Amino acid sequence: MTEGTSTRAVHAGEARRKPYGAITTPIAQTSTYTFENTAAVLAFVERKAERTSIRETGGDLPMRDEYGRYSNPTQTAAEGKLAALEGAEGAVLFATGMSAITTTMLALLSAGDHAIVVRDSYRRTREFAASFLPRYGVETTLVSIGDLDALAGAIQPNTRLIFCETPTNPYLRIMDLTAVAEMATLRAGAHGHAGAREIITMVDSTFATPINMHPLELGIDLAVHSATKYLGGHNDLLAGVVMGRHSLITAIQEARGLLGGIGGPNDAYLLIRGLKTLPLRVEYQNESAMRIAQFLETHPKVARVYYPGLPSHPDYEIAQRQMTGFGGVVSFEVAGDKAGTSRFVDGLQIPYIGPTLGGVESIVQQQALFISVNEEERRAAGISDSLVRYAVGIEDTGDLIADLDQALEAV
């Protein structure tokens, strides 16, 4: 039977009959798992060896749990649900989104490899790629998101990974993922030879969610999310996830067990809870953000609005082609100076001021203040003092618009 997105969000990854007859997957609050006897240990070891052999040919076998750094039943259920929503063969859950990104890069890259990272990606991702990876002999080239020619020119014979983010923060730029996937395949073939390594493509799809965009269907190899944001949806957990095909996921899973970035069962439980309402929340946030963006674009005290669902956005056509919704974040520049923008933010009565997004509560920030107190550093980052990022929650849209209108009067 074909299942819709909401049905998968509620049921995928979870056993139909759960312990004690519970309707929710329980929290397996344990660090280790015991064996009934020596025969059970031997059977586990044999299955583990058999599973490794099958994985090498692209298959998989279920395994019981051994130790909490490797897996947990609650976490496994969350991974199954996430994979089903993204249309992936497998998912690996991490303690944070950054742990998901850094562990994946360390798992896939070796000394002598070259990586390409889109400059508009999250600043900590850029910092890891440009400053940390070179310590281990991995070279990184940064390219601009809208320049496919520069991306093509940056590919070298030893390029192993292309990493991008879409939509980006804070200007919500959209990368043409189909073009990236095709370019990676073609250039790998041009540089390749018998037994050459592929160029792996990876996208941070946190702002899009699996509801608005499916990178794997567009030819991307790996999708990564900060599950702290929309996937959890309630601002009460930290988690990250990487999803893709078995051959890549297996290597990443093994690296997680070695590096230790696994999340706890409590966060996995909260994530399962959040995922069940993900389609409903994101669809409402899409609609609300679009109405807010349209309102702001016509307001005399707003200089410019950045939202990929608006024809005025530079990547509108790409967004129309590869997204089914445009997300719950709206960025805009207030018509005024730094002080006036601060008055506007302080005048808002509904959203909280903070650095996150994707939850049920609306969150707002004057972006420059979260970048640096140094004006030159803010200018170098391309962030104006009047830029505001508004992450729409699930409050009534009319209330949010009325609140924005009254706060703009203070500018």
Q: What is the architecture, at CATH level 2, of domain 279-408?
A: Alpha-Beta Complex (3.90)
Give the three-class secondary structure for 114: strand
Q: Does residue 316 carry a catalytic annotation?
A: no
Using CA atoms, how far apart are residues 86 and 225, in angstroms rounded to an integer? Answer: 11
Query: Is 272 within 8 Å of 199 (Cβ atoms)?
Result: no
pLDDT digits (tens, 9 = 90+) for 205-238: 999 999 999 999 999 999 999 999 999 999 999 9
Domain 5-32+67-275 falls in which CATH fold? Aspartate Aminotransferase; domain 2 (3.40.640)
Q: Residue 47's pLDDT is what?
A: 86
Q: Residue 54's pLDDT is what?
A: 42
Place of tokens 């409590």: 266
Q: Does residue 396 carry a catalytic annotation?
A: no
Q: Does residue 301 carry a catalytic annotation?
A: no
Sheet holding 352-353, edge to edge: 302-306, 329-334, 387-391, 363-366, 352-353
Catalytic position from the list 69, 197, 245, 304: 69
Catalytic position from the list 81, 229, 256, 276: 229
Residues of the chain with pLDDT under 50: 53-59, 193-195
Catalytic position from the list 204, 221, 267, 385: 204
Q: Residue 49's pLDDT is what?
A: 78
Q: Residue 146's pLDDT is what?
A: 87
**49 phi and psi angles, rounded to 5 deg:** -65, -40
Catalytic position from the list 122, 291, 304, 403: 122
Q: Residue 59's pLDDT is what?
A: 47
Q: Does residue 122 carry a catalytic annotation?
A: yes
Using CA atoms, how far apart are residues 92 and 244, in angstroms rounded to an integer? Answer: 9
Using CA atoms, how far apart are residues 358 and 361, in angstroms rounded to an integer? Answer: 8
pLDDT digits (tens, 9 = 90+) for 26-39: 999 999 999 999 99
Q: Where are the domains of the chain?
A: 5-32+67-275, 279-408
Using CA atoms, how far apart are residues 97 and 230, in angstroms rounded to an integer? Answer: 12
